[in-house]
Amino acid sequence: MGTFLVYALQVAVFMSVLYCGYRLALSDASCHRFNRATLLMIYAVSFLLPMFITYSPGSNLAHGLDIGSPLAILSHHDMSPSAYAEKFSLTQLSILIQSIYAFGICVAMIIVAISALKLAMLMNSGYPIREFPEVMVSPLAPGPFGWGNTIMIRPDDIDSDLPFVVAHERVHLKRKHWIDLIIAHTAIAFQWFNPAAYLMIRELRIVHEYEVDEVVSRPDPYRYQMMLIKKAVGSGAPTFADSLNSQLKLRITMMLSKKSSGYRPLAALALVPMAAIAVAGLSQPSVAELLSSMKESDNSQFFSSQGKASPDMIDYGKVNDLISDSQIISSSANESTASPMSHEQNEEVFSTPEQLPEFPGGMTALLQFLRDNIKYPENQKNDVRVIVRFTVFKDGSLGDYNILKTGGEDCDKEVIRVLNLSPRWTPGKNDGKNVACSFALPVNFKMTDDNTEKSNTPE
């Protein structure tokens, strides 16, 4: 569900940006058929582009490293109730967001299904008239509208203006405007949280009416406009149909306005840089990393099959990954488990000692040590993150390595190899006594621009 939520957010970004571009460039233009095609293109681009764009560096990039701060592992066995509640609330928040989105989709789908059922019942409630075979008359009709191959009208609509009404709805049916509305409502079902989705369908309905008005008003614009004003009384059309009496002020203003230049459709080219802006925004490292972490935040990562919280959690306040025990990959190589000195059997390992262990020289020295010694694997072409858990023993030596998040065998081994070169740390302390302590260290193997200096900023 996390992956689909990220996809929905990316769709929302593209739809919002492209809709804003449309409003600025084309909304007041009289090229109505082109505007309709542009709006449908925005739907297509918004939903398809996130499937094909991967936010990864290009091939002209050099190797780089980003080393995170060492993090204490928090275990529910020795966490305080308040600390554990805080960590557990983060998992609940993530699950809550995904659940709200899924619930919104279900509600939207139910509304769509109910609307479709009401439309079907309404279409079956009418009776035909002789003059116009495609017209059905129903006292339940909220107003004149067309859908599929049928035009629905009220008994009160059978008057001298009926030919105008029928001509108006015939253009809607001929140009398949009802299909556009199905597409738009389907988009709303998955983008129910996105205001742009509702603005898009409103814009699409207006363009439909502009398009029909342009055709039907040609023989007698004044009489057609008077007919629209007379039919203004009454409710709108069903969900999946256009309404004859909607947005009358805008429509009459458009009919009276000067026609746009034949070059006006070229303004749609402004949507290309708008799409590029959206891609660039989603490609920013902080945004891309956030989206990546959201993709990984599936419910299964927070709960075991028995529904209990994971035994071990990384401090979420400092690292964006929360790994369950099922994801721990224990290194089998001798170098990964060897420690420089022997240790007491069953030695108690703390995760939150009073005084944390420290690399000689502090954090800056640790980061420099890792940067100086880690060698970027030659066959590594993409950004990866390795999170290694290790124990700092009472004598300051390191051991008991476990890979919590793998970046591939070569990267995993390289991180453990360099940690084994580490000098002894100042051990953690409880009550003034040295104690063993668990830590997690995130290491990002990144691709950086050739002319960009490697970053020394810890996470």
Query: Can you tell me the mean pLDDT for 338-346?
Result: 50
pLDDT at residue number 48 = 94
pLDDT at 143 over 70: yes
Range among 9-13, 304-308, 341-345 with highest mean pLDDT value: 9-13
* HSE-CB for 23 with a 13 A CA cutoff: 11
pLDDT at residue number 235 = 66
Q: What is the mean pLDDT of the chain?
A: 79
* 443 confidence band (pLDDT: 50, 70, 90): confident
pLDDT at 195 over 60: yes
Burial, 346: exposed, middle or buried (Cβ in 10 Å; 0-12, 13-18, 19+)? exposed
pLDDT at residue number 83 = 47
What is the residue whose two structure tokens read 């009418």? 126
Q: Report the C-alpha gap between 376 and 381 in whole angstroms.
A: 10
**Residues contacting residue 5 through CB under 8 Å, at least 6 positions apart:** 97, 98, 101, 294
Residue 235 has φ and ψ, to the nearest 5°, of -85, 170
* 130 confidence band (pLDDT: 50, 70, 90): confident
Name the residue with higher pLDDT: 179 or 379: 179
Burial, 19: exposed, middle or buried (Cβ in 10 Å; 0-12, 13-18, 19+)? buried
Pick the range with the lowest mean pLDDT from 135-149, 328-342, 361-375.
328-342
Contact 148, 116 (CB under 8 A): no
pLDDT at 164 over 50: yes
pLDDT at 308 over 50: no
Contact 403, 387 (CB under 8 A): yes
* 344 confidence band (pLDDT: 50, 70, 90): low
pLDDT at residue number 280 = 86
Q: Report the C-alpha gap between 203 and 19 in whole angstroms.
A: 10
pLDDT digits (tens, 9 = 90+) for 345-364: 567 888 778 888 888 988 78
pLDDT at residue number 314 = 36
CA distances from 455 to 65, 77, 237, 370, 379 (A): 7, 37, 59, 13, 21
Pick the range with the lowest mean pLDDT from 76-85, 121-130, 246-255, 440-449.
76-85
Cut 0.95: pTM above it: no
**Residues contacting residue 290 through CB under 8 Å, at least 6 positions apart:** 320
Contact 351, 73 (CB under 8 A): yes
Name the residue with higher pLDDT: 266 or 306: 266
Helix, strand, coil proportions of the chain in percent (round to 5)?
50, 15, 35
CA distances from 375 to 67, 369, 390, 421 (A): 13, 12, 20, 13
- Sign of CA pseudo-dihedral 275, 66, 413, 352: negative
pLDDT at 448 over 70: no
Query: Can you tell me the mean pLDDT for 43-54?
Result: 89
pLDDT at residue number 447 = 61
pLDDT at residue number 408 = 86
pLDDT at 303 over 60: no
How many other CB atoms are found less than 10 A from the CB of residue 127? 9
Contact 352, 76 (CB under 8 A): no
Give the ranges where 63-190 is alpha helix by DSSP (H). 81-123, 162-174, 177-190
CA distances from 114 to 107, 117, 189, 266, 427 (A): 11, 5, 13, 41, 66
pLDDT at 219 over 60: yes
Name the residue with higher pLDDT: 446 or 374: 374
What is the β-pairing status of strands 135-137 and 150-153?
A: parallel
Q: Report the C-alpha gap between 425 and 421 in whole angstroms.
A: 12
- Sign of CA pseudo-dihedral 308, 313, 315, 321: negative
pLDDT at residue number 9 = 92
For residue 140, what is the DSSP state? Answer: T
- The string over 68-86, giving b where at least 16 C-beta atoms fall within 10 Å of a residue's C-beta and e elsewhere, is bbbbbbbbbebbeeeebee
How many other CB atoms are found less than 10 A from the CB of residue 352? 18
